[in-house]
Amino acid sequence: MKIRIIVLSVLISSILPAYAQIDVEKKIDELLSKMTLEEKVGQMNQLNFDALTDDLVGNLKVGNVGSLLNVTDPEMVNQVQRIVMNESRVPIPLIIGRDVIHGFKTIFPIPLGQAASFSPEVVEEGARVAAAEARSTGVTWTFAPMLDISRDARWGRIAESLGEDPYLTGKLGAAMVRGFQGSGDLASRDAIAACVKHFVGYGASEGGRDYNSTNIPPLLMRNVYLPPFHETIKAGAATLMTSFNDNDEIPASGNGYILKNILRDEWDFDGFVVSDWASMGEMIAHGFAKDARQVAEISANAGLDMEMVSGAYIVHLAELVCSGKVPEEAVDTAVRNILRIKFRLGLFENPYVDTSKGSVLYADEHLKSARQAAVESAILLKNENILPLSEKTKIAVIGPMADAAHDQLGTWIFDGDKNYTVTPVGALKDEYKHINYVYEPALGYSRDKNKANFEKAKNAAQSADVAVVFLGEESILSGEAHSLSNINLIGVQSELLQAVKSAGKPVVLVIMAGRPLTIERDLPYADAVLYNFHPGTMGGPAIWDLLFGKANPSGKLPVTFVREVGQIPMYYNHNNTGRPAPDQVSMLDDIEQEAGQTSLGNTSFYLDSGRDPLFPFGYGLSYTQFDYSDLVLSSKTIPVNGSLKVKATVKNTGKTEGTEVVQLYIQDVVGSIVRPVRELKGFQRVTLKAGESKTVEFTLTPDELGFYGRDLIKRVEPGDFNVWIGGDSKASLKGSFVVE
């Protein structure tokens, strides 16, 4: 009986969404049959909200607007919804968009920081909290997650990315989509529609200069830049945004091949596509369209459903349909895609915000999650027997990021309020009150060049047992249009660190930044380094939790840390050259010593910075140590469509409990195209008590083992594979198997 009920309920739950879907499509048909061509085009138009002007009211009444972005007052959301629902001929609710990137009010670590947690749970929870807060004010659509693979730390938007790896970005991006969109029901009052962006290739901007052209050839596109998008579309992402860049000479907002052939035909995407801000109109500056009329023609024919702010559709699209330049069917399809998401969001049933409900903004439970996320996102890069600190230690707290309430929130925080930030200094005042400390900021902000207070900082260090120096970047130094050509610690911060070190006390360097900075020159002046990508509202207490050992660092690098900016691009999943450098490649100093010898050979490395980065992808220390052994494969051979289980034992060999991110990498040794030296294909966070061991198991399926070949079809190729399991991308515990 029980089994029958279960079977029945499983059946019903699988049939219901299908019925609901048919129902939605019928409702869309009905609406479309009532709409004029102009009203349809109106749905494809998104305007930015400044104020409720007469002009806007007029546009809302005649059905010229499908979406508004940046309306943040719930009363105003209700007012604009009332206009379209009560005063327009065919009532269709607006979808209200906002950049809710790493939190709405409660700010979580920047996405790059969240990625360092290697934790889908942390990322999903961050998006769930953001969605609940945003929807409570009437926002129904966020422009996140950003899935742009970035191999260039000069690019300011690397902060918004989930790092350099397509597998990690895909898995965490999917978690973020689930978090924003709730458990499958977009209509629930704490879900908002996600928007995966920027489609596609934007993170590969030449030279790391924002908005720049990209040159991603088809196979690299298929194997590196597209997979995270596919993964998140499979997870149900409701919308997608095109990018600013032209790739291979075609601007993304006019690229029908990626918007139709790949996104719709291959991936079956049934949500809608929005342009980036004015990226349609900017095709004129690109030299791809001569005027706004041609812009509208190109984008409509390419399958771009909604235009963000540049206004070409609303002016020209109806006429283009009448003159036969754009088929009316293209407009119908776009409107269908948009209405489908509006129905799924439950906007037709209830377009209004319930302003009588109590506020969920900055709820205690949200702050707790943000603190946990900041803990799991911090990466311990160096520790020479100094951390964790005893709470009895007298501490000199130094540096411009120790009490930077706005800057620790990071980029893209439209709604986050710095008055809610708990900085490290704030946490000492509020929570860690028993700590004996002196505070000397020494610099007003990260770019401050005034060294007048360096002596005070040195004295503070002298008066204490340990100096904890908070350096990094103001939030303004990363994010959109904030690229840098020099990514050292900015200003005179390195000199401050040296001054503090000269006091002769142990130094703990805590960095808060929007990107992986080049810190090789700073390492000798720090006994320990804890790296935080801007950690958000609760960064302060999270950092002390880690420094005092209440929590054990577990973050791992989601990007390679280069030694020098000139090494960029450097990433772990590169192809091999025909002349790979040997393991111990010499640097300039060694070459001078070896003058006259040719033993270095003609291999691929830099004379002045060698072959390797400063820290590899996946790297991060703990207060304990982990040992890897006993790699076991379920089989030595598998068929091309087969799966394989890979197991290894991880042991906590240290004295404290800790969490390790166990990582699995593969290499397809010989391929019909060159394959990367390693590729991440699995990761798991494992918590182990001191002395405890655990067997960690991964399953490799054709999805992980396959790649797109010259015919642009994904398949597994027969041949030899290597597999590694370990704590970073240099993992040495190795096995091999054959695909037959």
What residues act catalytically?
Answer: 276
Tell me the one-letter amino acid at 119: S
Tell me the one-letter amino acid at 370: A
Q: Say how far apart CA 383 and CA 126 lie, in whole Å.
A: 29
Q: CB of residue 295 vs ligand NOJ: minimum separation in angstroms?
A: 17
Q: CB of residue 200 vs ligand NOJ: minimum separation in angstroms?
A: 13
Q: Which two tokens stand for residue 359?
A: 């506020």
Scan for tokens 């090494």, then name that residue. 567
Pick 177 or 661: Cβ nearer ligand NOJ: 177
Pick 114 or 383: Cβ nearer ligand NOJ: 114
Q: Which two tokens stand for residue 62?
A: 């005649």
Pick 276 or 704: Cβ nearer ligand NOJ: 276
Decide if residue 626 touches ligand NOJ (CB under 6 A).
no
Angle between helices 328-344 and 292-302 (to 10 degrees): 70
Q: Any residues with CB less than 8 A from the CB of 414 and at least 6 apart, and which?
A: 70, 72, 98, 99, 100
Decide if residue 124 touches ligand NOJ (CB under 6 A).
no
Decide if residue 272 touches ligand NOJ (CB under 6 A).
no
Q: CB of residue 135 vs ligand NOJ: minimum separation in angstroms?
A: 18
Pick 99 or 440: Cβ nearer ligand NOJ: 99
DSSP for 127-148 reads HHHHHHHHHTTT--EE---B--
Report CA Rg, the chain: 27
Q: CB of residue 411 vs ligand NOJ: minimum separation in angstroms?
A: 11
Pick 146 or 519: Cβ nearer ligand NOJ: 146
Q: Which residue of 39, 40, 85, 99 would you call a contact of ligand NOJ, by CB under 6 A?
A: 99
82 and 397 Cβ atoms separated by less than 8 Å: no
Helical H runs in 431-533? Answer: 454-463, 493-501
Sort strands 679-688 and 693-700 into parallel, antiparallel or unpaired: unpaired
Q: CB of residue 139 vs ligand NOJ: minimum separation in angstroms?
A: 12
Pick 49 or 432: Cβ nearer ligand NOJ: 49
Write the Ramachandran bin of 70: left for phi over 0, alpha for psi from -120 to 50, otherwise beta: left
Decide if residue 571 touches ligand NOJ (CB under 6 A).
no
Pick 40 or 98: Cβ nearer ligand NOJ: 98
3-state helix, strand, coil in the chain (%, to 5): 35, 20, 45
Q: Which two tokens stand for residue 632?
A: 């076991």
Decide if residue 212 touches ligand NOJ (CB under 6 A).
no
Q: Which two tokens stand for residue 59?
A: 């546009």
240 and 196 Cβ atoms separated by less than 8 Å: yes
Q: CB of residue 480 vs ligand NOJ: minimum separation in angstroms?
A: 6
- Mark 422-461 with x for binding to ligand NOJ (rule: CB under 6 A) and - for no binding: ----------------------------------------
Decide if residue 282 touches ligand NOJ (CB under 6 A).
no
Could you tell me how far CA 577 lies from the centroid of its own chain? 29
Residue with smallest beta-carbon separation from ligand NOJ: 143
Q: Say how far apart CA 538 and CA 551 lie, in whole Å.
A: 14
Decide if residue 143 touches ligand NOJ (CB under 6 A).
yes
Q: Say how far apart CA 493 and CA 451 lie, in whole Å.
A: 10
Q: What Å distances lie between residue 527 and 204, 386, 494, 512, 622, CA to CA?
A: 35, 7, 14, 17, 15
Scan for tokens 């400063």, then name that residue. 614
667 and 679 Cβ atoms separated by less than 8 Å: yes
Pick 239 or 369: Cβ nearer ligand NOJ: 239
Pick 135 or 197: Cβ nearer ligand NOJ: 197
* Closest by Cα among 665, 663, 676 to 736: 665
Q: What Å distances lie between residue 189 and 74, 324, 357, CA to CA?
A: 14, 42, 12
Q: CB of residue 282 vs ligand NOJ: minimum separation in angstroms?
A: 11
Secondary structure of 581-648 in the HEC alphabet?
Answer: CCCCCCCHHHHHHCCCCCCCCCCECECCCECCCCECCCCCECCCCEEEEEEEECCCEECCCCCEEEEE
Q: CB of residue 27 vs ligand NOJ: minimum separation in angstroms?
A: 29
Decide if residue 197 touches ligand NOJ (CB under 6 A).
yes
Decide if residue 246 touches ligand NOJ (CB under 6 A).
no
Sort strands 466-472 and 637-638 into parallel, antiparallel or unpaired: unpaired
263 and 240 Cβ atoms separated by less than 8 Å: yes
Pick 239 or 624: Cβ nearer ligand NOJ: 239
* Closest by Cα among 274, 294, 268 to 283: 294
Pick 277 or 533: Cβ nearer ligand NOJ: 277
Pick 108 or 525: Cβ nearer ligand NOJ: 108
Q: Any residues with CB less than 8 A from the CB of 68 and at least 6 apart, and which?
A: 46, 47, 48, 49, 80, 94, 96, 97
Q: Any residues with CB less than 8 A from the CB of 546 and at least 6 apart, and which?
A: 375, 378, 380, 387, 388, 530, 552, 553
Q: Say how far apart CA 567 and CA 108 lie, in whole Å.
A: 30
Pick 252 or 330: Cβ nearer ligand NOJ: 252
Q: CB of residue 160 vs ligand NOJ: minimum separation in angstroms?
A: 8
Site for ligand NOJ in 29-68 (CB under 6 A): none
586 and 609 Cβ atoms separated by less than 8 Å: no
Query: Which residue spans within 133-231 are E strands per DSSP?
Result: 141-142, 195-199
Q: CB of residue 244 vs ligand NOJ: minimum separation in angstroms?
A: 6
Q: CB of residue 68 vs ligand NOJ: minimum separation in angstroms?
A: 12
Q: CB of residue 202 vs ligand NOJ: minimum separation in angstroms?
A: 8
Decide if residue 231 touches ligand NOJ (CB under 6 A).
no
Q: Which residue of 332, 431, 480, 717 would you call a contact of ligand NOJ, by CB under 6 A?
A: 480
Q: How many residues bind ligand NOJ (CB under 6 A)?
A: 6
Q: Say how far apart CA 682 and CA 686 lie, in whole Å.
A: 13
Q: Which residue of 124, 231, 276, 473 would you call a contact of ligand NOJ, by CB under 6 A?
A: 276
Q: Which residues pair with 113 in a beta bridge?
A: none
Q: Which residue of 277, 343, 561, 615 would you call a contact of ligand NOJ, by CB under 6 A?
A: 277
Q: CB of residue 142 vs ligand NOJ: minimum separation in angstroms?
A: 9
Decide if residue 382 touches ligand NOJ (CB under 6 A).
no
Site for ligand NOJ in 490-529 (CB under 6 A): none
Q: Say how far apart CA 275 and CA 289 lie, in whole Å.
A: 16
Residue numbers at the binding site for ligand NOJ (CB under 6 A): 99, 143, 197, 276-277, 480
